[in-house]
Amino acid sequence: MDPETFIAVSSWVNTTLLAGVPLRILASATLAATFWFGAYKQRIALGLLFFMLTILLSYFRPLINLIGSGSM
């Protein structure tokens, strides 16, 4: 993948998926998967993986804005 394509894809992901309602829906879905796999299915490792993904989704955008690299 050439650098221009990578920049275009990453900026699209940043502006569409990692902002607003889609981000909240994605974080809620991963939190639901955390409880589903961690508590109901008793797959602790998979539950922890989804929990870490939830943490990443919840704090990635504010961290980027705090560093100053965000477009918002």
Query: 0.85 cut: is pTM over it?
Result: no
**What secondary structure does DSSP assign to 22-48, as a single string?**
HHHHHHHHHHHHHHIIIIIS--HHHHH
pLDDT tens digits for 20-48?
Answer: 888 888 889 999 999 999 988 899 999 99
The torsion angles phi and psi of 63, rounded to 5 degrees, stand at: -65, -40
The DSSP 8-state label assigned to residue 41 in this structure reads S
pLDDT tens digits for 49-62?
Answer: 999 999 988 887 77
Would residue 59 count as lying in a domain? yes
Would residue 13 count as lying in a domain? no
- The total of other beta-carbon atoms located within 10 Å of residue 50's CB is 20
The torsion angles phi and psi of 17, rounded to 5 degrees, stand at: -90, -30
Query: Structural domain tally of the chain?
Result: 1
Would residue 29 count as lying in a domain? yes
Residue 27 lies in domain: 18-67
Radius of gyration of the chain (CA): 15
Would residue 11 count as lying in a domain? no
